[in-house]
Each structure stands twice: as C-alpha cells, then as structure tokens.
C-alpha cells in the first residue's frame, strides 16, 4: 500500500523531506493489527503494569509489532529495554509460542562497567525471573566493547526503540550496534526501529535533543548492510512541534521541567507539552538480505 505525499505532509513531513525519502517504500499500519491470538493475549493480559497499559495509545504495540513482522516461535533480541515496556509483551509471547526473547543488558564482562550498571542488570533480570509468566528471559552482554550479541545467524528480529539517538553520543557505538545486529540476524531477518523524528526540521548536532532525521537512521542501517523494507506512520504525532526547552524529554513520559541533572521546576508550565502527548516517531522495518 502506498502513502501519498499529501498524507505524509499531514503526518508532519515537509515536501522537501518527502522528496528526499521518495525512493524508500512506505507501508501503512494495518487497519486490523493482527489475528495472532497469542500476541493479542500478551498485550491484553491483566498482569501488565498499569503504567505500560496507559501508554499503549501512544506506543501502539499490536500495530507496531505486526508491522515489524513478529511471528510465533521467533527469536527476538531487544537491546536497552529500559523499564521493560516491550519485555512485558515479548517475553510472555515467546513463552506462549515456543520462541526466545533475548535482551541486551549491561556488559558485565567489561572491566569498566559500573556498579550501577551491574545492579540495573541484576534488578531487571530479577523483575522478570517468574518463568511461569515470562518464560526464560535470556540476557546477553551489550556495550561499547561487547562481543557477539548472539551466535551468528540465529535471531529473527532485532528490536531497538527510542535508543538510536543515545548511540550517537559514544563514538562508533551506533555502527557497532548495527553491525552486531546484522551478524546476529538470520538471512532475511528483521531490524525493527522506532525513534523520535526530527523531520521536517534539521536534526540537531548528534541529536542532542533526542530527535533524529529519518534519513540519518536509514543511512546508518544501510551502511551496516540492511535494506529498508517499509516505513509506517503508526507512531506519528503531528502535534509534536519538536521545539521543546528540554528536548524530547520535555514531553511524556519523562516530562522534564529543568535541564538534565537539575531539580524539577515546580513553576514550569506543562500544559501545552502535556497536550502534545508523546513524541512524533518514525517506525522502520529493515531486512538483512537473504
């Protein structure tokens, strides 16, 4: 299904941005996200944290995972999972369908890893230790100098959401991550990316406000050998003006009211930022050539 130029403009892309990306395919999210009963169950189960469920309207888990091509029995590797929004869905889904869920956490093999990072990894794994609910959540070392994330050619889907901008802040980290993903994926495997989108305005240097251009993300993935298969507007938010005082973190869920590292400012007027909701985001599907 093709998306018209006028539709893309309505979603917040300028004519110039559309022209620059015209050669890349676009896929609209399906009106009926999935008939996969196990995935529907994983998203709708009553034990999901209330704060995660509250964000489903902005994060569109059924539509996003269907667009990325999640299938029963697959091996999914996610890096930098944060508080576990996707873990709460993908781990039970893997358990129910005979798949595997691997998560890239702090590289405890590195002599430079901090105690805080070690503790964060341990806490995350303890949170998902209930094998009756989550199956086996398999950790893998992920970091600036980590080795292979999984045996070569064994992963069906490599997932990273709202993380690409962070990887720009450490020299070589983005290239290493995407190269490692390419090696881990099977031929025909999927690289699934969600990221805050700067378009139509230019991307700030090193994406220090948290927003990246679609072109920069696409170029980085292509450099690693991936082929862009489709783009979806499922996580677009045309209300996002992308000119916030504390970058993307001004918006929900961070709702920052002062510069990073400073105490919250109780006098900060949040009304217009809360009215925006969460950020405008690109949703991309790349494939490792067969």
141 φ, ψ (degrees, to nearest 5) = -70, 130
As a whole number of angstroms, the distance between CA 205 and CA 194 comes to 20
CATH number of the domain residue 156 falls in: 3.40.50.150
Confidence tier at 267 by pLDDT (50, 70, 90): very high
215 φ, ψ (degrees, to nearest 5) = -60, -40
pLDDT in tens, 218-243: 999 999 999 999 999 999 999 999 99
How far is Cα of residue 245 from the mean position of the Cα atoms in its chain? 23
110 DSSP 8-state letter: S
As a whole number of angstroms, the distance between CA 191 and CA 156 comes to 9
Q: Which domain holds residue 87?
A: 5-287
Confidence tier at 39 by pLDDT (50, 70, 90): very high
pLDDT at 32 over 60: no
Which of 17-31, 58-72, 273-287 has the weakest average pLDDT?
17-31
pLDDT at 50 over 70: yes
pLDDT of residue 16: 35
CB burial of residue 271 (10 Å; 0-12, 13-18, 19+): exposed
State the total domains in the chain.
1
Question: What average pLDDT does the structure give for the chain?
Answer: 91
pLDDT in tens, 126-183: 999 999 999 999 999 999 999 999 999 999 999 999 999 999 999 999 999 999 999 9
As a whole number of angstroms, the distance between CA 242 and CA 255 comes to 14
As a whole number of angstroms, the distance between CA 131 and CA 275 comes to 39
Contact of 255 with 277, CB cutoff 8 Å: no
pLDDT of residue 73: 98
pLDDT at 15 over 70: no
pLDDT of residue 26: 57
% the chain with pLDDT above 90: 88
pLDDT at 81 over 80: yes
pLDDT in tens, 94-135: 999 999 999 999 999 999 999 999 999 999 999 999 999 999
pLDDT of residue 27: 59
Radius of gyration of the chain from its Cα atoms, rounded to whole angstroms: 19
pLDDT of residue 35: 87
């Amino acid at each position: 299904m093709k998306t018209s130029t006028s539709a893309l403009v309505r979603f917040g892309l300028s004519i110039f941005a559309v022209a620059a990306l015209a050669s890349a395919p676009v896929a609209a999210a399906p009106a009926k996200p999935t008939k996969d009963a196990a995935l529907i169950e994983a998203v709708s189960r009553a034990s999901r944290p209330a704060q995660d469920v509250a964000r489903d309207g902005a994060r569109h888990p059924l539509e996003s995972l269907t667009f990325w091509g999640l299938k029963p029995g697959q091996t999914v590797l996610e890096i930098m999972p944060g508080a576990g929004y996707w873990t709460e869905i993908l781990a039970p889904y893997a358990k129910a369908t005979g798949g595997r869920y691997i998560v890239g956490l702090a590289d405890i093999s590195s002599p430079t890893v901090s105690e805080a990072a070690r503790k964060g990894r341990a806490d995350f794994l303890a949170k998902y230790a209930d094998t009756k609910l989550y199956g086996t959540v398999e950790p893998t070392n992920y970091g600036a100098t980590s080795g292979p994330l999984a045996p070569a050619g064994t992963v069906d889907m490599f997932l990273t959401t709202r993380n690409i901008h962070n990887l720009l802040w450490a020299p070589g980290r983005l290239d290493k991550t995407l190269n490692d993903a390419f090696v881990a994926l099977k031929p025909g495997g999927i690289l699934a990316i969600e990221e805050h989108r700067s378009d139509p305005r230019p991307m700030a240097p090193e994406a220090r406000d948290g927003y990246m251009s679609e072109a920069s993300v696409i170029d980085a993935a292509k450099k690693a050998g991936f082929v862009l298969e489709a783009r979806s507007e499922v996580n677009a938010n045309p209300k996002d003006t992308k000119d916030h005082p504390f970058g993307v973190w001004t918006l929900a869920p961070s709702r920052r009211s002062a510069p990073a590292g400073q105490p919250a400012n109780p006098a900060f007027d949040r009304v217009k930022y809360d009215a925006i909701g969460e950020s405008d985001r690109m949703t991309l599907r790349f494939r490792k050539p067969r």
